[in-house]
Chains A and B, each alone.
Chain A
Amino acid sequence: MWIVRIAVIVVFLVLVEIAVRTELINPFFVPRPSEAVARMGTRLTDGEFLGLVAVTLGETFAGFALAAVVGMVVGFLLWRSRSLGDAFEPLVAALFSSPIVLLYPIFLVILGRNSTAIVALAAVFAVLPTILFTKQALSAVSRTMLNVGRSLNLSAWSNFRHILLPAAAPTIFTGLRIALTYVLIVVVAMEYILQIGGLGRFVSESSLLFRATDLYASVGLIVIISAAFIWAINRLEKLVQR
């Protein structure tokens, strides 16, 4: 299947390459994909992208770690306490569908115009799906399985590790996948808007300086990073389910 996926991407890039070369697409707005790929390689080898990637990845990991830890703990608490769950789940769901990212000026005022503000905003945005999916995942675990654990006198930890976690993991990981995607989007978008930080700032500057090849090279790199994240979290999911 992955061969088909790569084939679709290659066909798409070849079509764009032809369209740009024949000037069906204005080369000022869209550079040749071959040129953008070559530029990505150059910027990676000359070290320019490495520093930017390090900043963006640092912010993304920090935001994701915060969202994952807080989200899973809160989701667990909402599952454990029915009254808490009933009270707060609709609120979290409502916030999840709100454009929280528009609150960024408040984060800048409180935390300053720096990476901390970007990490905090990304974490706040991503914590919501983590909470919801964790709570839903735990609620969906079969009562029969939990009763089996009790009848075998499993400790609380063993019950959690061997019954609750494996049963809930697929849904929790769906939440984490969404959270990771949101964190990366918010981090790059905020870097773009604020023109601080890593790859998002580079995309913004390339756009404002009309450097289309750099623009597409950096956007391509962000897409690759995003795909790598999804692959990594899928691997992690499989490890946890073992």
Chain B
Amino acid sequence: MRKTLATMTLLTTASVAVAGCSAPGGNEPTEEGETQVNLAFSNPTIFTTGLPYYVATAQGFYEEAGLSVDATFTGGGSETVQAVVSGSADIGTETSGAAAIGAYTSGAPIDIIAASTTGLDLQWFAEPDSGLENRADLAGKRMGYSSTGSSSHIGILALSELLEAEGLAPAQPESIGGPPDNLTAVQTDQIDAGWTQPPFFLDRVANGELVLVADGAEIGDYADVAMRVIIGNETWLEENPETATTFLEVHDRTWDWIFDNPEEAATIWKEAADLELSEEVLLTSFDYYDREELRIAPLDGRDVLLDDAVEFGFAEQPLTDEEVNDLFNLSYLPES
């Protein structure tokens, strides 16, 4: 009996040890001699998240650069950071700067290595009969976001701060998921307003099925802030600096190609993400984004990100200058 109990204790301890010892190392080359990169990002159907991955894969940009990229899809925000921290992914794109800063202050071995999206490209929609027409109407209302620490979460927290400054009640954030989940939640009255990114549901807005209530541009001064960033696992980056730089170079070059070839990009996007939206609707994305917002450098608005991380409770205390320099490691950016 004692022997069994001792064995059970040891086995359980060993399993906890294995679970707690996650450390990615250098990735082995594939059979074709390409270097493996494990990528994590959220909401793969969205313009800023899935499109560059789908286009780089379809156009063979990764292959040309000697990379074999495998993607893992997350719920956004801190979930992308978790994937990178745990070593399931080497690099995470389109994750919120505040979530990354919060994770770093808790001891997460990550670096922010580039900007991903500059500005807050979100919109909040509601049912036409909801009575919601503008930002002020969202006071005290239930608003959906993707995941804790995501840019959609930060957007609601910033909006609430704005509403409170105007003497109104703050919004009630509800973790719902991506835009399709938010649409279902709005239509079934689980929440009052859901988030989306262009061009999703804008056709429904055009035909009166939904109304747009607020736009990211109205919420805080985020136009010049890298709201979403690219992060990497610190250990992996140290062991694979050239691969990280190559990945960033391909990522940036892919955006160049997308903006130079919008029709082809829309076709790839529709097929790869299995979207029901027409290519015409998908092409309207280019009315909402310009190339500059999606550049990997410069990474602007660090002070705002650092302040938000503390103000919104993702980091318990402000980072020291040394910590900021350690976290924002832009040495992997391609020279060009």
How many residue pairs link A and B with beta carbons under 8 A? The number is: 91
Stretch at the interface among B100-108, B131-139, B254-262, B277-285: B100-108
Q: Is the CB of B77 within 8 A of A30?
A: no
Q: Is the CB of A113 within 8 A of B174?
A: yes
A27 within 8 A of B: yes
**C-beta contact mask, A1-24 vs B, less than 8 Å → 1, else 0?**
000100010011001100110001
Q: Is the CB of B149 within 8 A of A209?
A: yes
Cα distance, A208 to B314, chains bound together (Å): 9
A108 within 8 A of B: yes
B317 within 8 A of A: no
- Say whether, besides A28-B106, A28-B107, A209 and B12 are in contact (CB < 8 Å): no
Q: Is the CB of A109 within 8 A of B20?
A: no
- Say whether, besides A15-B9, A25-B17, A208 and B106 are in contact (CB < 8 Å): no
Q: Is the CB of A209 within 8 A of B107?
A: no
> From residue B177, how far is it (CB to closest CB) to chain A in Å?
10
Cα distance, A27 to B175, chains bound together (Å): 28
> From residue B72, how far is it (CB to closest CB) to chain A in Å?
17
B182 within 8 A of A: no
> From residue B136, how far is it (CB to closest CB) to chain A in Å?
24
Q: Is the CB of B23 within 8 A of A26?
A: yes
Q: Is the CB of A24 within 8 A of B21?
A: yes
B82 within 8 A of A: yes
**C-beta contact mask, A198-209 vs B, less than 8 Å → 1, else 0?**
000000110111
A102-150 interface with B by 8 A CB criterion: 105, 108-109, 112-113
A231 within 8 A of B: no
B94 within 8 A of A: no
B11-42 interface with A by 8 A CB criterion: 12-13, 16-17, 19-23
B79 within 8 A of A: yes
> From residue B10, how far is it (CB to closest CB) to chain A in Å?
8
A203-221 interface with B by 8 A CB criterion: 204-205, 207-212
**Other-chain contact of A208, B5, B19, B23, B148 (Cβ < 8 Å):** B148
**Other-chain contact of A30, B20, B79, B175 (Cβ < 8 Å):** B20
B109 within 8 A of A: yes
> From residue B142, how far is it (CB to closest CB) to chain A in Å?
8
Cα distance, A14 to B31, chains bound together (Å): 45
Cα distance, A212 to B10, chains bound together (Å): 22
A171 within 8 A of B: no
Query: How many residues of chain A have a CB within 8 Å of chain B?
Result: 31
Cα distance, A208 to B6, chains bound together (Å): 34
Cα distance, A107 to B6, chains bound together (Å): 44
Q: Is the CB of B19 within 8 A of A8?
A: no
**Other-chain contact of A113, B21, B147, B191 (Cβ < 8 Å):** B191
Contacts of A194 in B (CB 8 A): 175
- Say whether, besides A29-B20, A113-B174, A210 and B107 are in contact (CB < 8 Å): yes
B88 within 8 A of A: no
Cα distance, A229 to B19, chains bound together (Å): 29
B189 within 8 A of A: yes
Q: Is the CB of A210 within 8 A of B85?
A: yes
Q: Taking CB as reference atom, which chain B residue is nearest A213?
A: B106
Cα distance, A209 to B79, chains bound together (Å): 10
> From residue B296, how far is it (CB to closest CB) to chain A in Å?
25
Cα distance, A28 to B106, chains bound together (Å): 8
B185 within 8 A of A: yes
- Say whether, besides A28-B107, A208-B82, A16 and B16 are in contact (CB < 8 Å): yes
Name which of B85, B142, B188, B189 has the most chain A CB atoms within 10 A of its CB: B188
Q: Taking CB as reference atom, which chain A residue is nearest B313?
A: A209
B190 within 8 A of A: yes
Name which of B6, B8, B21, B314 has the most chain A CB atoms within 10 A of its CB: B21
B117 within 8 A of A: no
B78 within 8 A of A: yes
Name which of B1, B85, B174, B190 has the most chain A CB atoms within 10 A of its CB: B190
Q: Is the CB of A19 within 8 A of B85?
A: no
Contacts of B314 in A (CB 8 A): 209
- Say whether, besides A208-B77, A209-B314, A109 and B106 are in contact (CB < 8 Å): no
**Other-chain contact of B5, A4, A28, A211 (Cβ < 8 Å):** A4
* Subset of 22 A-B contacts with CB under 8 Å: A4-B1, A8-B5, A8-B8, A12-B9, A12-B12, A16-B16, A25-B16, A25-B20, A29-B22, A30-B19, A109-B184, A109-B188, A109-B190, A112-B189, A113-B191, A204-B148, A207-B82, A208-B77, A208-B147, A209-B106, A209-B313, A210-B106
